[in-house]
Amino acid sequence: MHKIIIGLAAVAVLTAGCNLEEDPVAVQSADPGKSAGKSSGATKRKTFPIKLTAKRAHASKSVLSEGGALSCVKVTVTNQTKKQLEVNPLYFSITDTKNTKHDSSPALGEYEDQIATTELAPGEKATGLVCAKGSFRPKVLAMTNPLFDEAARAQVAP
């Protein structure tokens, strides 16, 4: 009985610090002069640790392409933190105008100029394409960190 009480107490202590309903990451506007959220009288330009800019794009198919439609976004990732930032094409997803999330991993290798796997020093940028299989209109591009927690989101410009 004593072991059960200690076990339950340990579980309670470990889960007490967990925030199961995390606040969503703010969506960066496709228009650099405006915020993506509701506007107020005085709009402050918000700075994000990871700056994403995203614009709809067309990709050239690679020799590894299996055919089929691809919906693509040209992304620029800017590291505005004071630490190294890992960038990987596996860290991206695209949400369409119907709010369906599309994973980018099934389309890897099917197109040219995909964003590179790299580490960005503070202030550095990386640019490349992120594509997902299917024909849809991209609305929001999301990037995760190496632990697959969402790190940044941006509206996709037309």
Measure the CA angle with vertex 73, ends 25 and 82; round to 5°.
45
Count of alpha carbons within 13 angstroms of residue 126, beta-carbon side: 22
Lowest mean pLDDT among 27-36, 90-99, 121-130: 27-36
Residue 152 CB-half CA count within 13 A: 27
Calpha distance 71→68 (Å, rounded): 10
Residue 102: CA atoms inside 13 Å, Cβ hemisphere, count? 26
Q: Model confidence at 106, in pLDDT bands (50, 70, 90)?
A: very high
- Give the pLDDT confidence of 124-136 residue by residue, as tens digits: 999 999 999 999 9
pLDDT recorded at residue 88: 96
Distance CA 152, CA 129 (A): 16
